Amino acid sequence: MGIMMPYGAAVREAIASNDLAKMESIAEQAKKLIKEQGDLSAALLELLEAIDALKNKK
């Protein structure tokens, strides 16, 4: 099957497949990525704030 990045589309594809092994594999990959990446949502919000701050300086 190979590695699928567990973005929303990959997760939803796994759900739609109704393939338990695929679903479990994607879930494990997502858990590992979340553990490695930390809180990506919070980091993105910080990045967007920094972008806005730079844009407002001009």
Residue 50 lies in a domain: yes
Residue 39 lies in a domain: yes
Instruction: Please give the pLDDT value at position 21.
Output: 96
pLDDT interval class at 12 (50, 70, 90): very high
Residue 33 lies in a domain: yes
What b/e sequence results for 4-28 when a residue is b if at least 16 CB atoms lie within 10 Å of its CB, and e otherwise?
Answer: bebeeebbeebeeeeeeebbebbee
% residues pLDDT > 90 (the chain): 48
Sign of CA dihedral 36, 2, 17, 24: negative
Residue 38 lies in a domain: yes
Residue 1 lies in a domain: no
Residue 22 lies in a domain: yes
Domain span including residue 34:
8-57
Question: Residue 51 and residue 46: Cα distance in Å, rounded?
Answer: 9
Residue 46 lies in a domain: yes
Number of domains the chain contains? 1
Higher-confidence residue of 25 and 41: namely 25
Residue 35 lies in a domain: yes
